[in-house]
Every structure is written in structure tokens, then in C-alpha cells.
Amino acid sequence: MTSTEALQSAMLARLGVAAEALGIEVGDVAPGDLLQILSRRIVESRRTDEAWLVYIAVSGSFPTPHQLTNFLSLIELSTTATAMLAVLEGTLAGASQRHVLGRTLRVESERVVVDANFCATQEHNTGIQRVVRETLPKWERQGRSIRIVAWTADSTVMREIDEYETDRVLSWNERRYPVGHRHPMESVEFTETIVVPWKTDVFLPEVPLPSTTAALACLAEFSGNSVTLIGHDAIPLVSAEGQPNSESERFAHFLTVVKHAHRVIGVSESAASEFRGFASAVRAQGLAGPSVTAVPLAGEVPARAAGTRRPGPRELPLVLCVGSHEPRKNQEAVLFAAEYLHHQGHRFRIVFVGRGSRAVTQDFDARVRRLRRRGLDVRSLRSLDDEGLWALYQEARFTTLVSLHEGFGLPVVESLALGTPVLTSNFGSLAEIAAQGGCLAVDPRSDVEIIEGMRRLLDDDDLIARLRSEASNAASRTWSEYAQELWQAADFELAVRG
């Protein structure tokens, strides 16, 4: 078989799958005849969802909004006699990409398609990834009908994930395979299986890669699938100061998916209100925008996290500050407060934990070294495993997260779950958490309030005891509860269908 025949044969198989999805019965027909049948179908039906599906079956790639609208225009202008030529003309650009024509196709209509591309392919594990890696295994265990997908290396289609990637998403806490396995790169020998969501729900728990947003926006707008996503925050736009321009640009493109989504589920009321604001903004474009609800994240820590000792009476009290190092997290203000209190004669240890770009951490770490030389017991840890972090949470007298903008505030709930009080901000998602007890809330823009808050927590044993008691009594939500509430809030069409 020549390579052209092999590609044509692969296309015939894809067209057969698409025909079946469209409820067209075809017998043993030649590729050209099958394409003609499908082309006539979309010319006659004029349905954008059917055109979207046929585009993928022919070209082996997901269309962008620009590609699909061009395709729809050609379909609009053609007759049943010229339908096939219109389809071939309209899909040529999509098909003219390396390896796409040899792909096989699988239509998914029975399960919720979950795009967990980042968690499937990367070892990174902070806020968003932890939400995904805690939630999806719970859905699996709760018997939810989901299919996890990633994207091909060229970001042209959703694909099945392999067993190593499944392990990375569903078994993060108990890995079966060695860390660092890579999905095979596309090659002539390697054929991807496209997963096409069809008349189902698509769930986006991550912020998608920029290279996939155009195809996802097209899917959300034209495919007829219902798209639901987790709204983590709108920080790259709402707090663009202090963010790299590329991050804001990337998020703006993500919003092209959000505007056509069916539903956004915020990780806090505060995050939900940001997305509600965006949903009302798109009405200026004549769009309905997504409906927005909130399901606050869980505050559960693994059982193995408990059991570390508290410091003895002779040790200096520990203040812990956890979070990636970036301007909005306000670590500079905390360090200033620590320096001030040290000058005032307070004796304590303070540890900052979190990664950050060199541009941001260089000056901060230099300042930390300078203060150490002046006698302040301060450390900045850029890398720490989970066990080390749990130990610090429990050793700490209190934790600080006086951030200027958060989507949720995982370090706060995790600290509280381990019984350690928190000095935090008095607005946004952090105030939502603080209202449940165990926290002292201050205005993070006020150095005076931060200093006073830290001073009270260092000096006042009764206050610490009360906050510890509140933290212990606060019912911390488990990830299982979060997963269950999230599923209910998503109200997937499939779930409704039963």
C-alpha cells in the first residue's frame, strides 16, 4: 500500500466513524462516495455541529474558529452537487499539517470528556494541578462516567492518554510508574487516536495551553457539546500589574473559550464573581455568556501529614509564609514586618516557602541574606517536598498569607486543616476562608496592620489558643465532598440523561 493509499484508508475509517455518529448507515462504499454522502448531509442540514464533526473526520485536526467559519461559508455557497469539492477545499489547510491525515478517530458520546492535558503530561504540581489530581480520582472512585484526554504534541486534536499519563493524573499520591515518562512524540510510526466529543459534555478543569485555545473556542461555540470549566481566578487580567505580559495575553485568549462555555464553576465566591463580571461583559457582543456558580475547594490534607511535633518551650516560635513568589502574594510586606518586629525586640523564626522567577526572587533572597547577617532567623526555601511542608505547617506558631489577590488560598485552608492559625487578608477569597475561623484578617495593603497582626500572634498566647481551637473545630471539607459537589454543580447533560 502506498502512503497515499494508507492515508486515504485512514480517512475512510474516520469518515465511517463520523457517518455512524451522524446516524447515517453506509455499507461497503468507496472513500469518495462516503465523503460525498457526508458532504451532502452537511450542505442539506446546515448544522454547524455536523460541519464541525465532518471537518475533523476529513482533515484529522480540530478546526479553529477562523477555519470553521471559512468552511461554513463554502458549505453555504455550495449545492449538493458541489458539496464534496467545498468540503475538500475548506479542509485542505487543516489537513496540510504533518501526520494529521493518518490519525484514527473515536467519537465519545457516553462519557464526560475531561481535558487534563497539563496534568497528564507534566510533573508540576501546585494549585490547579492539585485540584485536578485530587478531584478526578474521586470521580473515578465515585463511578462518574469520564474520559480523560490530552492534546497531541502539535495541539491539533484531543487524544487518548496512555497508562503512564493516566497514572500521573489519577494516582499522583501512589504512583505506579516511574516519574518523568514522556508520551511518544509524533512520528511516522506513531498514530494518534483522536477523541472527538460528540453531543456530550466537555469539562476543562485546567487553564488550557495557549496553542489549544483556538480549537477549544471553536469547540465551545460550534460543536454542540456543552463546555463546563473550573474558574480558578482572573488574576492575569484583573491583577495584570506584576504579571508577565505573556501571562495576561495567554489568559485573554483563554477567555475566548470561556465566553462560549455553558458553565463556569468558581473555586470560591470571589473567583466566581470575577467570572460573572466577564460573563456580563460579553453581553455587549450579543452573547449570553456562561452561567457562573461557586464550589469552594477542599481543605483536606493527607493523613500522613499529621503527627509532626510542635516546637518545645525553648525554641523560637516559627512564622511560616507559603506561596509562589510573585508581587501579589505580598511576601515583601511580610519580610518588612518581620524586620520591623525584630528591631522592636521580638524573637522568632520566619520561613518563606515557594518558587518564583529569578527576576522576582533575586532581590528578595539577597534581602533575606542581609537580614540573616543582622540576626533575624529568616530562610527562603525555593524547593520543598510535601512532607517537609506539612512538617513546617505543624511546627509553625502561625502562617501568613496576606495576598493582594487570590482565586482561593490553598495554603490557608491547609494550615487550618493542620490546626495552625493564619494571618490573612480581609477581602476576597481569603476573607471567605477567614470567616470560618482560625484566622486573623488584616488589610494586606497596610504595613501597619500586618505588623500589628504579626505582633499580636507572636505575643498573645490566648489569641493563638483561641484560633487553634477555632481551626480544629472548623469542619474542613474533604476532596471527596468537593468532587461530589463539583459534579452536582456541573449538572452535566449526561448526568441528567442518566
Partner 1 sequence: MSDDREKELERELSELRDAVLSDWVKVASHATDTLWAMEQTLSWRITKPLRAAKLLRNKVRQVGPSRAIRIAGNQLATKLRPGR
| Contact residues: partner 1, CB under 8 A | 3-4, 7-8, 11, 30-33, 35-36, 84-85, 88, 92, 95-99, 101, 118, 122, 124, 128, 206-207, 209-210, 232, 244-247, 250
CB of 440 to partner 1, least distance (A): 29
CA atoms within 13 A on the CB side of 121: 19
Q: Do residues 377 and 308 lie in contact, with contact meaning Cβ atoms separated by under 8 Å?
A: no
* Complete DSSP assignment for 36-61: HHHHHHHHHH--HHHHHHHHHHHHSS
- Of the pair 210, 311, the CB lying nearest partner 1 is at 210
Q: With b meaning 16 or more CB within 10 Å and e meaning fewer, what string describes 238-267?
A: ebbeebeeeebebbebbbbbbbbbbbbbbb
**Alpha-carbon dihedral 244, 204, 154, 120, rounded to 10 degrees:** 90
Which amino acid type is present at position 72? L
Q: Of 203 and 398, which CB lies nearer to partner 1 in the complex structure?
A: 203
CB of 491 to partner 1, least distance (A): 26
Nearest Cα residue to 59 out of 108, 98, 115? 98
Instruction: Count Cβ atoms below 10 Å from residue 107 Cβ, excluding itself.
Output: 21
Distance, CA of 167 to CA of 491 (rounded, Å) = 27
In our burial notation (b when 16+ CB lie closer than 10 A, e otherwise), range 271-289 reads: bbbbbbebbeebeeeeeeb
The residue among 155 and 420 lying less far from partner 1, judged by its C-beta, is: 155
Q: Give min distance, CB of 179 to partner 1, in A.
A: 15
Task: Please report how close the Cβ of residue 372 comes to partner 1 at its closest, in angstroms.
Answer: 30
Question: What is the closest distance, in whole angstroms, from the C-beta atom of residue 102 to partner 1 in the complex?
Answer: 9
The residue among 201 and 206 lying less far from partner 1, judged by its C-beta, is 206
Q: How far is the CB of 196 from partner 1 (least distance, A)?
A: 19
Pick between residue 132 and residue 220 the one whose CB is nearest to partner 1.
132
**Can you say how many angstroms the Cα of residue 270 is from the centroid of all Cα atoms in its chain?**
17
Strands (E), 85-225: 104-108, 112-115, 146-151, 158-160, 193-197, 201-204
Identify which of residues 85 and 448 has a Cβ nearer to partner 1 in the complex. Answer: 85
CB of 225 to partner 1, least distance (A): 23
Q: Nearest approach, Cβ of 254 to partner 1 (angstroms)?
A: 9
C-alpha cell of 113? 470528556
Pick between residue 142 and residue 246 the one whose CB is nearest to partner 1.
246
Report in angstroms how near the CB of residue 443 gets to partner 1 at its nearest: 27
**Can you name the residues that pair with 442 across neighbouring β-strands?**
425
Closest alpha carbon to 442 in 462, 457, 459: 457
β-sheet with 146-151: strand ranges across: 104-108, 193-197, 158-160, 146-151, 112-115, 201-204, 226-231, 263-266, 291-294
CB of 446: closest distance to partner 1 in angstroms? Answer: 29
Q: Which helix (H) or strand (E) element contains residue 468?
A: helix 461-473
User: Is 244 or 375 the residue whose CB approaches partner 1 more closely?
Assistant: 244
CB of 153 to partner 1, least distance (A): 14
Name the residue nearer to partner 1 (CB basis): 109 or 122: 122
Measured from the CB atom, the residue of 98 and 343 that comes closer to partner 1 is 98
Distance CA 208, CA 252 (A): 12
Residue nearer to partner 1 on the CB measure, 252 or 371: 252
Read off the C-alpha cell for 39.
458532504
